[in-house]
Every structure is written in C-alpha cells, then in structure tokens.
Amino acid sequence: MQHADAPLGLPFMKMHGLGNDFVVIDQRGNDITVSATLARALGDRHRGVGFDQLAVLDDVVGADIGLTFFNSDGSTAGACGNATRCVARFEMSRRGISALVLKTERGLLRAEDAGDGLTRVNMGAPLLEWRDVPLAREMDTLELPIEGGPTATGMGNPHCTFFVEDADSIDLASFGPAHEHHPLFPERTNVQVAQLVGDNHLRMRVWERGVGVTLASGSSSCATAVAAARRGLTGRQVRIDLDGGRIDIDWRDDGVWMTGPTAHVFSGHLTPEFLASL
C-alpha cells in the first residue's frame, strides 16, 4: 500500500460506455508520452488496470481537445466512439459547456449534451469505397466475397458486418479472430454480427481487432447501422441492442451521429514503481 506521503504517479480515469471500458490518461501538463508498451501493460486485467481501449488526451490546435486511442494489445485505433463520448462528457462537465469539438485521427468530431445524461457524437461520414475502408483490392463493399456476404465500412477504422438470423448463436471467440485477420483486410478489421429484430431495430455483438469480444463498440455500431441502411434492412435512424445496452445511431447528411450513456467509474494514479517497471 502506498503511504499518504509517498509521491503520486501518473493520474488516470477509468470510464465505460455500455460496458465498453477505457483507461483515460490526460497528457496535458504531464511529462510522460504514452507508448505501446505502457498501453499493453495497462491493458492487462491482471497486472495492470484493464481496458478495451486506452484514450490519451492532448492539447491541439483547432479543437477543444485531442484524442489518441490504443487497443489493449498496444496497437493504435483511429476511432473509438464510446471513448469519445466518455471523454466529451467529462470535458463538457469540467468546462461547464454543452458542446465541444474533439480532434482524432478520424478528423474533427463534434460532441453535444443530448439531455437525460446522454451524450451524442458525430463520428463523421462513413467510408464506403474499398480503398478507404481499406480492403486489399477493388470490390463492391456492400457484399464481400466472404462466406456470409458481409458488408465492409470504414469509420476511421475498418469494419466487417455480418447479418445473421441469430446473433446470440454465433461463437464470437472463434468467428471474430478468423475474420479479423482475413486477407481482404490489410489492417485487420473489427467484426460485427447483427440481427434484425424489429423496424429500425438491430441486435449486434462485437469482436474488436486488437481486443477481442467487447460488450459494446461505438464505431462498430455506426458501421452496422450504415451497412443495414445500405442493404435496405433499416432506415437511417437505428436502435442497436448490444451486450452492454442500447445505443442510437442516426446517419445524417453531415455524418453518423451516435447517442448513448457514459460512466466515469473511478480516478487513480499509476504508481512510480509500475511506471519504472516498463
């Protein structure tokens, strides 16, 4: 146990959106640069803190805040919708404002207080051309030449969505990695299995590249809603039921808006001993 007068290490926050959990490190004012090594150590649920993604906050020009994402295996992610909502909610509350702009690898993303404790984020326009997803060669992204005919969508990271009769019957532990590493996806891919359960209502489960099975995924939800609308299964406003709860997606002319809850679970400090061991 650290004594009360011992020096504190690097501060962090633990957050989640529908059970999709994150460690958030604010680099603003700290003299540490988060690396893949630190991300892997932190992501270990037995020897670190544990997370699906690590979100790193920075000061940037042209936006209220900058965000960089790491997966638990230390690889980077271009987008993470639930983490973006969590950070946006925290920063809006800290500043006493109801909207802000975040800069990610995906671009500039606008976030707003949606009322009733919910936060909405514009995740940008979906990427529908094969080279933008990206895929390994030219093809129609609506139905890939893979058994099950999935749809490919780019949301700042690649997604492969399978529409199935029963999403809960799929063994994601084997189905997910088999498709994450499919040769059509040179940067690997997130994998979703989705089932139409009602009008503009989907049930979806997620395998995230570099992570595994997760209770929710914001960018996966956006990609699945876009794929369902493109295939004529739904309109552009969709409710999605994930293992961790409900999220609402609205594919508008200005981008794909995602609305859902956030949670700040606790704050803490990484000890100097932990940091020195890396």
Number of H-type helices and E-type strands within the chain: 5, 17
Q: Is 209 part of any known ligand binding site?
A: yes
What end-to-end distance do the CA atoms of the chain give, in Å? Answer: 20
C-alpha closest to that of 151 among 233, 55, 210? 233
Q: Is 81 part of any known ligand binding site?
A: yes
Which tokens sit at 71? 């997966």
Q: Is 200 part of any known ligand binding site?
A: no
Is 80 tagged catalytic? Answer: yes
SS3 call for 167: helix
Q: Is 117 part of any known ligand binding site?
A: no
Secondary structure of 35-91 in HEC code, one letter for each residue:
CHHHHHHHHCCCCCCCCCEEEEEECCCCCCEEEEEEECCCCEECCCHHHHHHHHHHH
Q: Is 20 part of any known ligand binding site?
A: yes
Q: 80, 86, 160, 222: which one is catalytic?
A: 80
Q: Is 53 part of any known ligand binding site?
A: yes
Spatial separation of the C-alpha atoms in residues 177 and 227, rounded to whole Å: 21
Q: Is 30 part of any known ligand binding site?
A: no
Helix (H) or strand (E) holding 228: helix 218-230
Q: Is 122 part of any known ligand binding site?
A: no
Q: Is 75 part of any known ligand binding site?
A: no
Burial class (CB in 10 A: 0-12, 13-18, 19+), 135: buried
Say if CB 106 and CB 117 are below 8 A apart: no
Q: Is 208 part of any known ligand binding site?
A: yes
**Farthest-apart Cα atoms in the chain, separation:** 62
Catalytic residues: 80
Residue numbers belonging to the annotated binding site for substrate: 20, 53, 71, 81-82, 157, 190, 208-209, 218-219
Annotated binding residues, as ranges?
20, 53, 71, 81-82, 157, 190, 208-209, 218-219
